[in-house]
Amino acid sequence: MIDCPEPGLWLLTTPSSAYAVRLGPDGAPRSAHWGPRLTLDQARVLPAGAEELPVEGGDRFGVAGLQVRYGDGVRGVEWRHLGDDVDGGHLTIRMADRHYPLEIDLHYLIRPDSDAVDRWTTLRNTGDGPITVLRCDSAAWAVPRREDYRLTHVTGEWGAEFQVRRTAPAVAETVLTSRRGHSGHHANPWVMIDAGDATEDRGEVWSAALAWSGSWRITVERDHDGRVGWSGGFGHEGVTWRLGPGESLETPAFTGVYSAEGFGGVSHRWHEHIRRHVLPAPGRVRPVVYNSWEATEFDVSQAQQMELAELAAGIGVELFVMDDGWFGGRTGAFAGRTGETAGLGDWWPNPDRFPHGLTPLIDHVKRLGMRFGLWVEPESVNPDSELYRTRPEWVLGQPNRRATEVRDQLLLDFSRDDVAEWAYDRLDELVTHNDIAFLKWDMNRPITEAGDEVWVPYIRNVYAVVDRLRATHPHLTIEGCASGGGRADLGMLAGTDQIWTSDNTDATQRIAIQHGYGQVYPACTMGAWVTDSPNALTGRPTPLAFRFHVAMSGALGIGGDLGRWSPADLEQAKHLIEQYKLIRPVVHEGRMDRLADWAVQYTLDPHVVVLSWRPTTLVRVTAPVRLRGLDPDGVYRDEDTGETHHGGLLMSHGLPRPWPFDATSELKRLTRVG
Ligand code: DGJ
């Protein structure tokens, strides 16, 4: 609900929170409240706080989220209020510069069933000369005054994404950023602040996540007076926009979520919001996928894929994905994609490997009762490819600069509409002429040597191609990937169904990676494979059940070399996949509670699922697993043993953990029966 209790004051009320904006005495739109719900009378007495979009000029010396330069060299904004529009849950506060022809719309969007507030900015040049935009953040978020603060974010690298960090923010500016043209392995575009006292289920948490998959920046500022807030948005460092007469610039949304119920409470709200309002196909069942990458890498053949498909079908896999290595060759790069160095860009089945195209394999997969999926990397090109030889001008680069190769590949200039059109046509052709139900869209290198005009249109064209593909092929499930979890964000999730979380499939290390991913993003989007033991990346051996129990807390896939699994392993895998299919609706649609670093609960009343893991006996966790959010008077039946438990006791005493060894794990399925 959006109220305007008095001129210059707007109150946005969500199911469990409220956000208020007030025009300050200087005419600037300022934050007045972000926290619990308020009455209109309470809202009326709110003072104006920090600027909603801090600008340059006057006695402002902090982070400027909006930086502009007019034709005469003058910078900054002096705010003038033009009016406001309310359209359902969408509030636009229309502002302008007092003197220069620049209009600035501040957008706010809320929905009746979500605590998220989307905020973004539109700039419009209403004059007849150009305006230079040096920075245009989506929004700034001010946290109410507290005694102390704590900053939560994630850091990482390839194979170790989403590592949660909780630190006291420095009395300084802390910059969370990616300058890589994708959202990054080393950071992720979200931030949380609490007063240092929040736990998983108690305390206030303020958070925001950016819907952008390119370079981004969030600057958290803590000043000497103890004020904390952040400003954030898209745009590559140092890159400017020229806003011509009549032109406008719209930023992506920077969505904020407040919860008074701790980090768990904030995660619940994010998960629900993303499932309902961000994902393109809410409620779509994520198939149990088999992916051939770890089994074959580039050494792909039709016969071997068919054998893997038979084994995958035998254990209950629903969709078979052939990863990298299936394309190019003959007329293009000599051997096609037989390794990292050739073939990217040549999106036809390698005639040496698939002499009759993909149809025989796809028919085989379908006869086995599965659907078929394919790996693609549409933004990239190897210099050794037919595409590079025919279209060298499509490659991203700058005059007089060496083109940086990463993994032996270059990027196509996706900011060009003809390149995006080509990519759409190739993918559309693949999906139209082959029965393809799933695409894994990978991107294996950062953007380099790009001109100012590339960074934003590049990402917008990636979104446009993905959206167009979905519109033409509504049945298509798309998995986003960038060397693992390098491009996981609300922008990508608006066009894809799931994200490949990390190339690290070691179940022990996955626990921390998944813990970080799930702070904001829901389990149904978290691609998680069971692979071989010892693990290909870390060499660590782990039991099959442990690997499954870790992967079952996301969108389960199988990524091992099934040909090397023993009959007993395959039999156990079949049983575990059957169990997963039973719990999938609860894991994907239910409320997720992190009971500890080593246990997670999903609740979709009357069903409750608990997955717990003990990676190593050095972690001396023998305390019982105490459940959350149950009916204290309810009775819960264990679906495997038939035992019944009292809800109140499950929450206060918990379930015992009698596990003596390393890499032990457990799946509990409970149903409320009274
Ligand atoms: C990186 C991805 O993360 C892997 O899963 C795999 O698809 C490779 N690329 C293929 O080149």
Q: What's the pLDDT tens digit per position in 160-182? A: 999 999 999 999 999 999 999 99
Q: How far apart are CA 19 and CA 11, in angstroms?
A: 6
**58 C-beta neighbours (distance < 10 Å), count:** 11
Nearest CA, atom 10, ligand 1 = 324
Contacts within 8 Å (CB) and 24+ apart, 73-81: 74/100, 77/102, 77/104, 78/27, 79/26, 79/27, 79/28, 79/29, 79/55, 80/27, 81/8, 81/23, 81/27, 81/29
Q: How far apart are CA 648 and CA 643, in angstroms?
A: 15
Phi, psi of 22 (to 5 degrees): -135, 140
Q: Facing residues of 222 across strands?
A: 228
Distance 297 CA to ligand 1 centre (A): 9
Q: Please say whether the dihedral angle defined by the alpha carbons of residues 31, 32, 33 and 37, taken in this order, is positive or negative.
A: negative
Nearest CA, atom 11, ligand 1 = 324
- Reported as type and span, the H/E element at residue 68 is strand 66-69
- 197 with 214: CB under 8 angstroms? no
Q: Report the helix count and the strand count for the chain, using DSSP H and E.
A: 13, 37
Of 289, 297, 445, 503, the one to substitute when testing ligand 1's pocket (max ligand atoms within 8 A of C-beta) is 503
Cβ burial, residue 91 (10 Å; 0-12/13-18/19+): buried
Pick from 506, 410, 427: nearest CA to 469:
427
Q: How far apart are CA 249 and CA 121, in angstroms?
A: 8
Distance 322 CA to ligand 1 centre (A): 11
Task: Identify the pLDDT of residue 624.
Answer: 86
Peptide bond into 606 cis (omega under 30): yes
Least confident of 427-436, 524-533, 619-628: 619-628
Instruction: Give Cα 204 distance to the centre of its chain.
Output: 23
User: Which is the closest atom of ligand 1 to the Cα of 503?
Assistant: 3
How large is the C-alpha radius of gyration of the chain?
26
One-letter-per-residue 3-state SS of 291-354: ECHHHHCCCCCHHHHHHHHHHHHHCCCCEEEECCCCECCCCCCCCCCCCCCECCCCCCECCCCC
324 lines ligand 1 (CB under 6 A): yes
Of 322, 500, 513, the one to substitute when testing ligand 1's pocket (max ligand atoms within 8 A of C-beta) is 500
- 479 with 441: CB under 8 angstroms? yes
Of 298, 481, 498, 504, the one to substitute when testing ligand 1's pocket (max ligand atoms within 8 A of C-beta) is 481
214 lines ligand 1 (CB under 6 A): no
503 lines ligand 1 (CB under 6 A): yes
Residue 656 has pLDDT above 90, yes or no: no
CA angle 371, 558, 535 (to 5 degrees): 155
Of 442, 443, 478, 510, the one to substitute when testing ligand 1's pocket (max ligand atoms within 8 A of C-beta) is 442
380 lines ligand 1 (CB under 6 A): no
pLDDT tens for residues 355-402? 999 999 999 999 999 999 999 999 999 999 999 999 999 999 999 999
481 lines ligand 1 (CB under 6 A): yes
209 lines ligand 1 (CB under 6 A): no
Confidence bin at 107 (pLDDT 50/70/90): very high
Q: How far apart are CA 169 and CA 206, in angstroms?
A: 14
Helix spans in 590-641 (H): none
Q: How far apart are CA 507 and CA 233, in angstroms?
A: 34
Mean pLDDT of 102-129: 98
- 631 with 647: CB under 8 angstroms? yes
Distance 48 CA to ligand 1 centre (A): 49
Task: Identify the pLDDT of residue 183.
Answer: 97
Of 292, 340, 375, the one to substitute when testing ligand 1's pocket (max ligand atoms within 8 A of C-beta) is 375
Distance 52 CA to ligand 1 centre (A): 40
Q: Quick one: DSSP state of residue 655?
A: B
pLDDT tens for residues 306-349? 999 999 999 999 999 999 999 999 876 778 999 999 999 999 99
Amino acid, single-letter form, for residue 670: L
Distance 261 CA to ligand 1 centre (A): 38
Q: Is 384 a catalytic residue?
A: no
pTM over cut 0.95: yes
Q: Which residues contact 39 (CB under 8 A, 6 or more apart)?
A: none
Distance 442 CA to ligand 1 centre (A): 7
Cβ burial, residue 271 (10 Å; 0-12/13-18/19+): buried
Distance 168 CA to ligand 1 centre (A): 36
Of these residues, 442, 489, 497, 593, which one is catalytic? 442
Q: Is 113 a catalytic residue?
A: no
Distance 441 CA to ligand 1 centre (A): 10
**525 C-beta neighbours (distance < 10 Å), count:** 27
What tokens were used for 336? Answer: 């096609």
Of 379, 483, 502, the one to substitute when testing ligand 1's pocket (max ligand atoms within 8 A of C-beta) is 483
Nearest CA, atom 1, ligand 1 = 483
Q: How far apart are CA 311 and CA 364, in angstroms?
A: 12
Q: Which residues contact 274 (CB under 8 A, 6 or more apart)?
A: 490, 493, 520, 521, 522, 525
Of these residues, 346, 503, 506, 593, which one is catalytic? 503
Nearest CA, atom 6, ligand 1 = 293
Instruction: Give Cα 151 distance to the centre of its chain.
Output: 19
Q: How far apart are CA 631 and CA 674, in angstroms?
A: 10
Pairing, β 90-97 against β 102-109? antiparallel
User: Which is the closest atom of ligand 1 to the Cα of 500?
Assistant: 3
Residue 619 has pLDDT above 70, yes or no: no
Cα dihedral: 272, 276, 279, 280 (round 10): 170
User: Which is the closest atom of ligand 1 to the Cα of 297?
Assistant: 10
- Sheet with strand 241-243: strands edge to edge: 66-69, 131-136, 241-243
User: Which is the closest atom of ligand 1 to the Cα of 481?
Assistant: 3
Mean pLDDT of 287-305: 98
- 397 with 449: CB under 8 angstroms? yes
CA distances from 59 to 26, 55, 136, 290, 341 (A): 12, 11, 20, 59, 55
Helix axes 302-314, 359-367, angle to 10 degrees: 10
Residue 96 has pLDDT above 70, yes or no: yes
221 lines ligand 1 (CB under 6 A): no
Mean pLDDT of 145-155: 97
Nearest CA, atom 2, ligand 1 = 483
**225 C-beta neighbours (distance < 10 Å), count:** 7
Distance 667 CA to ligand 1 centre (A): 29
Residue 84 has pLDDT above 80, yes or no: yes
479 lines ligand 1 (CB under 6 A): no
- 470 with 280: CB under 8 angstroms? yes
Residue 658 has pLDDT above 90, yes or no: no
CA distances from 548 to 68, 319, 528, 531, 575 (A): 53, 17, 9, 9, 11
Pairing, β 2-6 against β 9-13? antiparallel
Least confident of 371-380, 550-559, 588-597, 620-629: 620-629
Mean pLDDT of 427-453: 97
Q: Which residues contact 379 (CB under 8 A, 6 or more apart)?
A: 411, 412, 414, 423, 443, 462
**81 C-beta neighbours (distance < 10 Å), count:** 15
The secondary structure of 506-565 as a DSSP string is -HHHHHHHHHHHTTTS-GGGEEEEE--SS-TTT-----HHHHHHHHTTSEEEE-S-GGGS
Q: How far apart are CA 551 and CA 503, in angstroms?
A: 13
Distance 279 CA to ligand 1 centre (A): 23
pLDDT tens for residues 2-39? 999 999 999 999 999 999 999 999 999 999 999 999 99
Distance 324 CA to ligand 1 centre (A): 7
Nearest CA, atom 9, ligand 1 = 483
Provide the percentage of residues in the chain whose pLDDT is more than 90: 95
Distance 486 CA to ligand 1 centre (A): 11
443 lines ligand 1 (CB under 6 A): no
529 lines ligand 1 (CB under 6 A): no
What tokens were used for 275? Answer: 């499932």
Residue with the two structure tokens 């829901």? 522
Q: How far apart are CA 579 and CA 581, in angstroms?
A: 5
